[in-house]
Amino acid sequence: MAGVRERLGHELFLRVAGPDGPKQAARIHGRPGPRWFDADSPIARVHGDASMFVGGIRALLLQALHPAAMRGVAEHSGYRGDMWGRLARTSTFLAVTTFGHADDAEQAVQAVRRIHERVTGTMDDGTTYAASDPHLLLWVHVAEVDSFLRAHTVYGAEPLAGADRDTYVAQAGEVARRLGVLDPPQTEAELAEVLASYRPELRGTVEAREAVGYLLLRPPLPLLARAPYGVLVAAAVGLMPRWTRRPLRLPYLPISERTVVRALGGAATGTIRWAMSPGREQRSRAS
């Protein structure tokens, strides 16, 4: 049983972190020097937890509701042919800016800003969009922060409480400001206000539903990983607001989501957390 558990956790970790994940982790955590955040800070506790697997999927679902953000992904991202590569690059960026050397974190931010400058296009009504637009960057940011915080609250090993929740929002905002966000929220209450302010702009486009269908129903995964991935997807969908379900054609089963899905989601994130934990191999041999 332990062998199956290890293979499942390892397979999902590699899919999100990429084949160079272990090497990247060694470089990120092993290089001595100053960091943007302390190792025990709220942002490190959230971004270092296995609940990020659920939060990341939820963030992608929520972000898809903004037509301009979704158009940019559809026209410039390789999510169909390289979904896992894109996810690995995103997870690496979060790891570097949260845990990496300050110089590496700054280089990662500048690399993303250069990419954003190239992502431009035109909407169906003739208006233009740009990934570097501060308004669009703010939407992507708050969708991520809300998703990571909610997932950590439900599935995290030690959920944040009290002032630590506001500190997490503020710390995540420090990275967002470096990316070009002008006025990121500093508290959980401000985060909710900003999210609500985007409601009039959000809708389920054909591109959004196609991306969601690909993410939920057609992920390129080996047989072993499909069932646990399905659990993570169900956990992510279970954390989506009710008003998002119809536009994205997501199911809404409130009783099951609060019981069965949360139990399975907790087991899945626990498996990943176990597979990622330091000293796991030594403990396994000892037992």
pLDDT mean over 268-284: 57
pLDDT at 102: 97
pLDDT, the chain, mean: 84
**Residue 14: its pLDDT value, please?**
61
pLDDT score at 205:
92
Query: Long-range pairs for 2-10 at CB < 8 Å and ≥24 separation?
Result: 2/284, 2/287, 5/271, 5/274, 5/275, 6/275, 6/280, 6/284, 7/224, 8/224, 8/225, 8/228, 8/271, 8/275, 9/271, 9/272, 9/273, 9/274, 9/275, 9/276, 10/275
Model-level pTM greater than 0.95?
A: no
pLDDT digits (tens, 9 = 90+) for 128-147: 999 999 999 999 999 999 99
Out of 43-57, 62-76, 158-172, 213-227, the most confident range is: 158-172
For 26-30, 47-51, 93-97, which range has the lowest pLDDT when averaged over its residues? 26-30
Q: What is the mean pLDDT of residues 52-68?
A: 92
Please tell me the predicted confidence (pLDDT) of residue 282. Answer: 38
Check residues 69 and 19 and name the one with the higher pLDDT.
Answer: 69
